[in-house]
Chains A and B, each alone.
Chain A
Amino acid sequence: MPRKLILCRCEDVTADDVAAAVAAGFQSIEEVKRYTGFGTGPCQGKECLVPVALAVARASGAAVETLRPFTARAPLSPTALKQFAALDEEPESA
């Protein structure tokens, strides 16, 4: 595999970075996200989650179907602060 194969384009995380994270002991997608920063840019994992999961599986030997995706974060796509500022103040719900 080429050394500079970029899996997360927002944060420039390469296949080598993912393999290094697994070698440092990070086995789950949540941990690899935190160690490499993958999935924390504008796409929030929509482009990179599957390729990274495959790379984690390849590096760790785990079956890819046993890996759980990281918690999806709102908003669904990057949204301007002024849109949220225009929301009515509403009573907080639990």
Chain B
Amino acid sequence: MTASPKRLAGLQGPLPATAEIVIVGGGIMGLALAYNLAVRGQKNVVVLEASYLASGASGRNGGGLRQQWSTEMNIRLMQESLEICGAFARDMGINVWMRQGGYLFLMRTAETRAQIERNIALQNRCDVPTRLITTDEARRIVPELATDQFLAASYNPTDAVVFPWPFLWGYAGAASRHGARIYTDTPVTAIERRAGDYLLTTARGAITAPRVVNAGGAWSPRVAALLGLALPDWPARHEIMSTEPLKPFLGPMVSVLESGLYVSQSTRGELVGGITMHEPKDNEKSGDIKMGSRLAFLGAMARGLCQVMPLLGEVKVVRQWAGPYDLTSDGNPIVGEASGWPGFFLCCGFMGHGFMMAPVVAKYYALHLLGRETHPLFDRWRLSRFAEGATEAEGMIIG
């Protein structure tokens, strides 16, 4: 006889009539927040996911964890996120295939180098050991690189990659064990404000809660629109591909700053990577969430990859897919209570980098909601900064 297995997937039954906190969106942000609330004793946390866990960007990203950012806020947050990720397998009892092989950013122009030098100085002040290195040194780290086209590289050996999927099972399972309830295939179709509470309508019934967190990622503008709240973030398709598995050869995640190309080798041996592809300008902010794949992406990706590492030409692509980035005009997220909507909280606009940010953001979000501690991110990344013109642009958005 075996012990009953741990439940990791979402629930399917009818919803409870009330909750203390309803989180809309069962991606990494929503699940990590549910866990961080529940583990600190918050009762009656309910997560509503429109599809299955890992169906959105959290199940479609490249799994990169880096500290090479251009603002102190993001650098320090990612330092802490990486620490949480390093302990995740032990704390959550699930293997996330984390590999700390570093990140190597290649650059072509003096203009990029000047910006990166400023970033590195800031990173070093935060004790992130990034260095600007010569192309010869880059080739010693990755001998397969064709570096004559590049000016220099920045290298931080403590950045890492993970396999995204088990992170979701880890957070979902642990949140459930601490009493949070996660419902899948449960799209929210209406949200109304009623006597200080929010009433959310779903196919599994209605649920009322004094506090709601919109962690819908690229879907967050649609969730807020149910309430009549217009959010300034917008979805953008990002495509990605995976090759056949190869013997381990590639230590760091390799990225080219000017093209947005990135590629890493997973612990399964596959090369996983993407490259910036622009939508036609007239279609850029249509609000449509597109997850179709294009042959043009494989062409651009293959050209970019073969230029950086020519010997990869014979390596076979096994599959391509796409996921939505959740973009904002200053490259920073939108968090905190929406002014004019007491009890309605935002946790979105993470620019395609929400996966790596979630472990630390969810911790501070839980402390904020519990009234125990607030973090400067709630001021810096507030929704009203757009209207006030008080933005601080983040320059290290890749892909």
One of B5, B283, B313 near A80 (C-beta < 8 A)? B313
B367 within 8 A of A: no
Docked-complex contact A84 and B294, CB < 8 angstroms? no
Main secondary structure on chain B at its contact with chain A?
mixed
User: Is the interface on chain B under 10, 10 to 19, 20 to 34, or 35 or more residues?
Assistant: 35 or more
Most buried by B among A27, A42, A71, A82: A82
One of A27, A73, A93 near B319 (C-beta < 8 A)? A73
Docked-complex contact A79 and B317, CB < 8 angstroms? yes
B8 within 8 A of A: yes
Closest Cβ of chain A to B102, distance in Å, is 23
Please report the C-alpha to C-alpha distance between residue A34 and residue B321 in the assembled complex, in whole angstroms.
Answer: 14
Docked-complex contact B280 and A87, CB < 8 angstroms? no
B73 within 8 A of A: no
> Could you say which residues of chain B place their CB within 8 Å of the CB of A1?
none
Docked-complex contact B314 and A80, CB < 8 angstroms? yes
> Could you say which residues of chain B place their CB within 8 Å of the CB of A35?
8-9, 165, 169
Closest Cβ of chain A to B1, distance in Å, is 14
Docked-complex contact A30 and B321, CB < 8 angstroms? no
Q: Which of B37-45, B52-60, B226-234 contacts A (4 or more CB under 8 A)?
A: B52-60
A92 within 8 A of B: yes
Closest Cβ of chain A to B132, distance in Å, is 29
Docked-complex contact A25 and B8, CB < 8 angstroms? yes
Please report the C-alpha to C-alpha distance between residue A92 and residue B275 in the assembled complex, in whole angstroms.
Answer: 14
Please report the C-alpha to C-alpha distance between residue A23 and residue B7 in the assembled complex, in whole angstroms.
Answer: 7
Docked-complex contact B302 and A81, CB < 8 angstroms? yes
Please report the C-alpha to C-alpha distance between residue A88 and residue B296 in the assembled complex, in whole angstroms.
Answer: 9
> Could you say which residues of chain B place their CB within 8 Å of the CB of A83?
302
Given contacts A74-B320, A81-B315, contact A93 B302 (CB under 8 A): no
Could you count the A-B residue pairs with CB atoms below 8 Å apart for me: how many are there?
A: 119
Interface residues in A58-92 (C-beta closer than 8 Å to B): 71, 73-75, 78-85, 87-90, 92
Residue of A nearest to B307 (CB): A85
> Could you say which residues of chain B place their CB within 8 Å of the CB of A42?
244, 316, 318
> Could you say which residues of chain A place their CB within 8 Å of the CB of B294?
92-93
Please report the C-alpha to C-alpha distance between residue A71 and residue B268 in the assembled complex, in whole angstroms.
Answer: 21
> Could you say which residues of chain B place their CB within 8 Å of the CB of A71?
321
One of A23, A41, A81 near B5 (C-beta < 8 A)? A23
> Could you say which residues of chain B place their CB within 8 Å of the CB of A54?
none
Docked-complex contact B320 and A80, CB < 8 angstroms? no
> Could you say which residues of chain B place their CB within 8 Å of the CB of A85?
299, 302-303, 305-306, 313
Docked-complex contact B314 and A73, CB < 8 angstroms? no
Docked-complex contact A93 and B320, CB < 8 angstroms? no
Closest Cβ of chain B to A24, distance in Å, is 4
Docked-complex contact A20 and B5, CB < 8 angstroms? yes
Please report the C-alpha to C-alpha distance between residue A82 and residue B302 in the assembled complex, in whole angstroms.
Answer: 7
Docked-complex contact A24 and B59, CB < 8 angstroms? no
Docked-complex contact A81 and B279, CB < 8 angstroms? no
Residue of B nearest to A30 (CB): B52
> Could you say which residues of chain A place their CB within 8 Å of the CB of B195?
none
Docked-complex contact B319 and A84, CB < 8 angstroms? no
Given contacts A34-B54, A81-B302, contact A74 B244 (CB under 8 A): no
Docked-complex contact A94 and B318, CB < 8 angstroms? no
One of B165, B245, B290, B316 near A79 (C-beta < 8 A)? B316
Please report the C-alpha to C-alpha distance between residue A60 and residue B242 in the assembled complex, in whole angstroms.
Answer: 31
> Could you say which residues of chain A place their CB within 8 Å of the CB of B59?
34
Residue of A nearest to B290 (CB): A94
Contact with A along B275-300 (1 / 0, CB 8 A): 00111100100000010011110111
> Could you say which residues of chain B place their CB within 8 Å of the CB of A44?
318-319
> Could you say which residues of chain B place their CB within 8 Å of the CB of A90?
296, 299
Please report the C-alpha to C-alpha distance between residue A53 and residue B316 in the assembled complex, in whole angstroms.
Answer: 27
3 shortest A-B CB distances, which residue pairs?
A25-B9, A82-B313, A84-B302
